[in-house]
């Protein structure tokens, strides 16, 4: 009998308030995945003081100290092991993970700046994508990725004909431009609609549904391993 190796999840949590509903989703994710035997790592971007701004400090030995070309320096640093330590820690967490989950509110129809900046810096050209390695040949192929999202607006406003347009369209840059582009399998998002104004029963139902979704994912994935 083959014993499946433990699976690892990376939860990237982007909310400045530790008692937020997004934090409750993160706790539920940690609980369910740990219970299923997974190793769970958490990047708590605000609490960790993660720097989301790409810049010369990302590289300890730049190839051209006179002029910054971000992708060229990412590639140079990836091949020589000269990524800044905070960046390398996140890249290694990402590479260890079988499942990546972004736990975040929807801000301005997209990701909060700190999480977008995590992608800008951690999706390193020459290591996470690039040099012809994207989509089916992307270095992150075999991994799954998922958005766990809270919104202010109700589901009806993100439906066809709704005031904000379809959520799938808004999330294309994440699902296609980040997850699939680097080779990952983009799972359907989990959305807690109107989390800020929902009543307690609705919020409890969201937490339970999210827990069940992750438990099912963890058991399916373990069987496949
Ligand atoms: P919170 O306000 O932190 O929490 C909601 C409630 O849940 C609180 O009462 C909290 O006490 C409670 N709670 C916490 N833990 C639990 C628990 N375990 N069980 C039950 N209840 C619990 N919305 C949009 O739809 N589209 C946008 O484009 C958009 N842009 C925004 C831009 C900015 C800059 C900001 C600040 C907000 C924006 N919003 C937008 C609104 C935002 O998406 C919502 O306010 C947010 O998603 C709500 O989730 P939260 O985690 O912040 O909720």
Q: Is residue 2 part of a domain?
A: no
Mean pLDDT computed over every residue of the chain: 95
Q: Is residue 191 part of a domain?
A: yes
Ranges 39-48, 66-75, 156-165, 203-212: which has the least confidence:
156-165
Q: Is residue 112 part of a domain?
A: yes
Query: Could you read off the pLDDT of 206-220 as tens digits, one per residue?
Result: 999 999 999 999 988
The enclosing domain of 84 has a CATH number of 3.40.50.360
Q: How far is the CA of 142 from the centre of ligand 1 (A)?
A: 32
Q: Is residue 202 part of a domain?
A: yes
**pLDDT at res. 82:** 98
> pLDDT confidence of 223, banded at 50, 70, 90?
low
Q: Does residue 63 register a pLDDT over 70?
A: yes
Taking alpha carbons only, the member of 76, 84, 90 closest to residue 56 is 84
B/e letters for 26-38, b = 16+ CB within 10 Å, e = fewer, are bebbbebbeebeb
Q: Does residue 3 register a pLDDT over 90?
A: no
Query: Could you read off the pLDDT of 189-201 as tens digits, one per residue?
Result: 999 999 999 999 9
Find the DSSP H helices in the chain: 21-35, 70-80, 85-96, 113-122, 167-170, 172-174, 200-224
Q: Does residue 1 register a pLDDT over 90?
A: no
Q: Are 103 and 11 in contact (CB under 8 A)?
A: yes
Query: Could you read off the pLDDT of 136-188 as tens digits, one per residue?
Result: 999 999 999 999 999 999 999 998 899 999 999 999 999 999 999 999 999 99
Q: Is residue 1 part of a domain?
A: no
* 164 included as an active-site residue: yes
Q: Does residue 121 register a pLDDT over 90?
A: yes
Atom 35 in ligand 1: residue holding the nearest Cα: 107
> pLDDT confidence of 4, banded at 50, 70, 90?
low
Query: Based on the structure, what is the number of domains in the chain?
Result: 1
Find the DSSP H helices in 175-199: none
CA–CA distance, 221 with 218 (Å, rounded to integer): 5
Using alpha carbons, list the distances in angstroms from residue 146 to 21, 77, 164, 214. Answer: 17, 28, 22, 10
Cβ neighbours around 90 below 10 Å, total: 22
Q: How far is the CA of 15 from the centre of ligand 1 (A)?
A: 9
Taking alpha carbons only, the member of 1, 68, 16, 40 closest to residue 218 is 40
The residue segments making up the domain with residue 172 are: 8-224
Which residue in 31, 46, 110, 164 is the catalytic one? 164
Q: Is residue 155 part of a domain?
A: yes
Q: How far is the CA of 65 from the centre of ligand 1 (A)?
A: 42
* 49 included as an active-site residue: no
Q: Is residue 19 part of a domain?
A: yes
Q: Is residue 3 part of a domain?
A: no
Query: Could you read off the pLDDT of 88-115 as tens digits, one per residue?
Result: 999 999 999 999 999 999 999 999 999 9
């Amino acid at each position: 009998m083959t014993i499946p190796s433990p699976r690892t999840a990376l939860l990237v949590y982007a909310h400045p308030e530790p008692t937020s509903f997004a934090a409750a989703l993160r706790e539920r994710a940690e609980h369910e995945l740990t219970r299923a035997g997974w190793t769970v790592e958490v990047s708590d971007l605000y609490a960790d003081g993660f720097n989301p701004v790409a810049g010369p400090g990302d590289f300890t030995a730049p190839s051209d100290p006179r002029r910054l070309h971000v992708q060229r320096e990412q590639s140079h640093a990836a091949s020589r092991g000269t990524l800044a330590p905070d960046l390398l820690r996140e890249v290694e967490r990402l590479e260890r993970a079988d499942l990546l989950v972004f736990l975040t509110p929807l801000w301005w129809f997209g990701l909060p700046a700190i999480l977008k900046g995590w992608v800008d810096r951690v999706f390193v050209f020459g290591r996470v994508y690039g040099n012809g390695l994207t989509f089916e040949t992307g270095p992150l192929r075999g991994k799954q990725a998922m958005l766990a999202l809270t919104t202010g607006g109700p589901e009806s406003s993100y439906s066809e004909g709704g005031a904000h347009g379809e959520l799938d369209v808004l999330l294309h840059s994440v699902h296609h431009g980040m997850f699939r582009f680097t080779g990952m399998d983009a799972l359907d998002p989990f959305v807690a609609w109107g989390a800020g104004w929902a009543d307690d029963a609705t919020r409890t139902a969201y937490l339970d549904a999210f827990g069940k979704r992750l438990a099912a994912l963890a058991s399916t994935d373990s069987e496949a391993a």
